[in-house]
Structure 1
Amino acid sequence: MNYSLHLAFVCLSLFTERMCIQGNQLNVEVGRSDKLSLPGFENLTAGYNKFLRPNFGGEPVQIALTLDIASISSISESNMDYTATIYLRQRWMDQRLVFEGNKSFTLDARLVEFLWVPDTYIVESKTSFLHEVTVGNRLIRLFSNGTVLYALRITTTVACNMDLSKYPMDTQTCKLQLESWGYDGNDVEFTWLRGNDSVRGLEHLRLAQYTIERYFTLVTRSQQETGVTTVLSMTTLMIGSRTSLPNTNCFIKAIDVYLGICFSFVFGALLEYAVAHYSSLQQMAAKDRGTTKEVEEVSITNIINSSISSFKRKISFASIEISSDNVDYSDLTMKTSDKFKFVFREKMGRIVDYFTIQNPSNVDRYSKLLFPLIFMLANVFYWAYYMYF
């Protein structure tokens, strides 16, 4: 199918350079002195079939690529993808577009529709679009030897399979793969124009980093309120870290381990407060028991002595023979049960005193030393394991 393009007389004036296209002849005047003659687009594309690749039926077309990374706007761990804006440049030889001279000229981007271009696409791209402000961000340049340069500005969101087992100390490898949609290796071959230097922009790229917000302290009524609030905050962080990340093939991630360590120390501090407070109450109760112990012993002794005396009087003044079946020991039995209760309470008190901390202030004193020391050791093992193993 042949296409005919009729160009009217157009003159563009910009500073000291002027370019005019008239009919089938393209005249470029630079500085109003050196003139050169380039073929008109209509003559150049006469008999051109954009539906057939260059070297159709022969050697595959060599597509040389260069890539400029303009920005990487986001890297999402939850969606496992990244969004980047790139400048994709493709070069290939098309002998049908050879013209005389050693110059090149740039065509309007809308003329791309009349030329053959490779059907390059981004593998694993979720969404992609070409920028259209203020016009379509595409460029087509023709060289006299038949080389075609085709440049595009693309923003794409590409999937990236991430291994988050060491998150947030993880290192991910995200790929940007380019392939031909319809042609195979017998028709099109992709190569990098300048090897490893074909990709530029990453050396100056700075990704946004997350920083910890400012923290401040408040005076609270009780240490227990602060401990409970901190435990709830750590629980919220642990739940948030798990819900904000995708379900991966690993059950425990590095951030889960670290938050678990922090939660253990926060909960341990709350338990330390509970132990110290309980020990203080027990110490006060022990002092109260010491003052009433002698009074209870005297009372129990008097009760037992009075019971025995009453029992003896009954034996002395009885006029009948007393047998063991007729004696009423109820009064004596009640008093001895009180003695057994007292002995039982005394035994239990000794057991409780054995496990009671004699000086509750030592709990806080030792905790101030042990908690930071153990936390530092835990961090040393944690970071050494996840950074070097």
Structure 2
Amino acid sequence: MAGCEKLAGAFNLSIRGYDPGVTPIVAEYIKKPGKIAPPQEVALSLYIQHISKLSEMEMEITISFYLRLQWLDRRLKSKTNRPIRVPKGVLHCLWLPDIYFMEAKSTGEPEASVFHVDPDGKIIWSRLISLATRYENDLHVFPFDTLSTRVQLESYSYGNNTLTFKWLGYMYSPSLSSIDFKAHSAIHGISMKDYSRMSIDPEDSLFQIAWLELKLRRSPLIALISIYIPALMIVMASWLAFLLPDSETAAKLGIGITSLLSLITLTSYADSKLPKVSYFRGHDLFFGFSFAMMFSSCVVHVRRKFTILPRSSMLDQSKVSEMNCKLRIRSFSTVSVFVFSLLVFNIVYWPVVISMSQYASD
């Protein structure tokens, strides 16, 4: 401890008789016999600087933010008229709240740290932290889903009766409102919500937890351009086979099979950009309906191949013209059924997905 006193004295900081294992509020009440010390209050504030990584396959997000802790330690009062900046090498000599991040996959070493002590003993400890944690989102409503993650802080050794948290506020960088990620992971908006400022359940938890929830909304435009519109174009391209004569069955099936293979390739691309989940995602139903449409068109082409028609040599010219007219009408009516089915599906599908996404984000 003598070494700490000498080291702190070099920075005009007096810690004679200072016990770093005792909270500041307990140190005050030691001098007041018969009185019970209340919990030490530590104020928290966050400034979200940027999101450095978002991995959809691993459902992991990396957030860089400034964490500012404030508390009062009258044992560090000084006669100076300005704050004292304490170097990192002296911090082990002082009492510090042993805060850690819950459910974090990894927490990098603080990239920067500033420790100030005001003349009245008020301490401000600011650190730049990079936190990798898991996020949750409901892919039922893809591409209108909302990503949700929490920054949760808890004391490792001080319980509710020794240390409490208080939120001072939170901010985020304006640049977060225009983040663009690769593939269809664009974020076009950010909203953070502080639920009750603290999450405390004295009956079920011995340690107080302070948490802040961060919500990000996906931009549906990129998914529409890269997934849904190409799928619609492939389906409509398969209908070009209806313009061919019924005798060109091989060409019709060639168009149908090529369209099916193109849609399979597009489905594989979409699946490679999203995490593997045990439920139907928003685009799975869309692709399923598209496959059903193209398979049905192939069935129609094969059925027409085996339709028995009289030879044109056995009919006069008027009968041949009448038959060709009927075939064109039949082709037009078949295409109309496919177009109507696709139109009805989209009229029902998109409002349902959008309404579900609004319900899920609430």
- State TM-score, norm by structure 2: 0.66
Counterpart for residue 311 of structure 2: 287
Give CA-to-partner distance per residue, 1:165-198, whole Å, 9 cap, x none: 333333343222111111111111111114xxx2
- How many residues align? The count is 282
Secondary structure of 1:375's match?
helix
Secondary structure of 2:347's match?
helix
Secondary structure of 1:67's match?
strand
Contact in 2 for aligned 1:104/1:144 (Cα 8 Å): yes
Contiguous gaps of at least 5 residues in structure 2: 30-36, 185-221, 242-249, 316-322, 357-362
Contact in 2 for aligned 1:130/1:152 (Cα 8 Å): no
Contact in 1 for aligned 2:5/2:16 (Cα 8 Å): no
Counterpart for residue 258 of structure 2: 229
Letter in 1 for 2:277: N
Contact in 2 for aligned 1:105/1:143 (Cα 8 Å): yes
Mapped partners of 2:280, 2:70: distance in 1: 48
Indicate the percent of aligned positions where both proteins have the same amino acid.
22
Counterpart for residue 341 of structure 1: none
Matched, 1:377 2:344: yes
Give CA-to-partner distance per residue, 1:286-337, whole Å, 9 cap, x none: 207949xxxxxxxxxxxxxxxxxxxxxxxxxxxxxxxxxxxxxxxxxxxxxx
Structure-2 change in CA distance of 1:4 and 1:108 (3 Å) = closer
Mapped partners of 2:306, 2:5: distance in 1: 94
Superposed counterparts of 1:200-219, under 5 Å = 200-201=172-173, 204-208=176-180, 210=184, 211=222, 212-213=225-226
Offset at 1:369?
3.2
Letter in 2 for 1:246: K
Letter in 2 for 1:169: F
Secondary structure of 1:89's match?
strand
Mapped partners of 2:324, 2:353: distance in 1: 39
Of 263, 269, 277, the residue aligned with 2:297 is 269
Structure-2 change in CA distance of 1:142 and 1:172 (3 Å) = same
Contact in 1 for aligned 2:144/2:354 (Cα 8 Å): yes
Counterpart for residue 125 of structure 2: 150
Contiguous gaps of at least 5 residues in structure 1: 8-22, 27-39, 292-355
Contact in 2 for aligned 1:2/1:49 (Cα 8 Å): no
Give CA-to-partner distance per residue, 1:329-354, whole Å, 9 cap, x none: xxxxxxxxxxxxxxxxxxxxxxxxxx
Mapped partners of 2:252, 2:15: distance in 1: 84
Counterpart for residue 318 of structure 2: none
Contact in 2 for aligned 1:276/1:363 (Cα 8 Å): no
Mapped partners of 1:6, 1:161: distance in 2: 50
Mapped partners of 1:360, 1:202: distance in 2: 62
Matched, 1:199 2:227: no
Superposed counterparts of 1:349-360, under 5 Å = 359-360=326-327
Offset at 1:155?
1.2
Mapped partners of 2:100, 2:324: distance in 1: 73
Matched, 1:247 2:261: no
Of 78, 83, 104, the residue aligned with 1:104 is 83
Q: Which has the higher contact order (CA 8 A, sep 6+)?
A: 2
Counterpart for residue 365 of structure 1: 332
Mapped partners of 1:233, 1:2: distance in 2: 76
**Once superposed, what is the RMSD of the aligned Cα atoms?**
3.5
Counterpart for residue 33 of structure 2: none
Counterpart for residue 105 of structure 2: 126
Secondary structure of 1:174's match?
strand
Mapped partners of 2:136, 2:263: distance in 1: 29
